Amino acid sequence: MLLAAGFSVDVHTLDFRTPLMVAIGNAHTSSRVAGETERIARCVKLLIAAGAPVNAKTVPRGRTALMVAAWVNDAQAAALLIAAGAEVDVVTAPERYTSPPYLPGWNALTFAASSPYDNVAALRVLLRNRAKVETRCNLQEVSHVLTLIIAFPFHA
């Protein structure tokens, strides 16, 4: 309805979260109800079709919609973003932040591995799309990613 009324998909919040980021991050995996993933996917498709920038970054942290999808384990949104040209290995800003806690130089794969959710589905999408295990991450995150890769093998 908003798109039909001329709403711009290129707007952002004060910290530069885009409509794509807000739509994907609106509900975490642990609280999603039946059908919500499909509604979010429809919203992501509409926003992408309307020209939403898939590689936009928040300021100052440098998060992207793909990082948000990885954090909340939205594999469908992650796949849609990648198909629309989202960069898999773009990394966060070089500064260290504590809210939410993450280190500089994280990519979407690190967000998926570091999330408190069961992010196997998002990890599989990212790994199938050749996401790199970032060496700038601390050993705990890299170890977690490698453990998930071994425990949940996938076919490329």
**Position 16 pLDDT exceeds 60:** yes
* Residue 54 covered by a domain: yes
How many separate domains does the chain show? 1
* Residue 7 covered by a domain: no
* Residue 5 covered by a domain: no
- Residue 156: count other Cβ atoms within 10 Å of its Cβ: 6
* Residue 33 covered by a domain: yes
CATH number at residue 92: 1.25.40.20
Give whichever of 30-39, 81-90, 100-109, 111-120 has the largest mean pLDDT. 81-90
* Residue 147 covered by a domain: yes
* Residue 2 covered by a domain: no
pTM attached to this predicted model: 0.79
* Residue 120 covered by a domain: yes
**Position 35 pLDDT exceeds 80:** no
* Residue 6 covered by a domain: no
Torsion of CA 32, 88, 9, 72, to 10 degrees: 10
pLDDT of residue 27: 57
**Residue 122 domain boundaries:** 19-151
pLDDT digits (tens, 9 = 90+) for 56-110: 988 778 889 999 999 888 999 999 999 999 999 888 887 766 555 566 788 898 8
Quote the mean pLDDT of the chain. 77
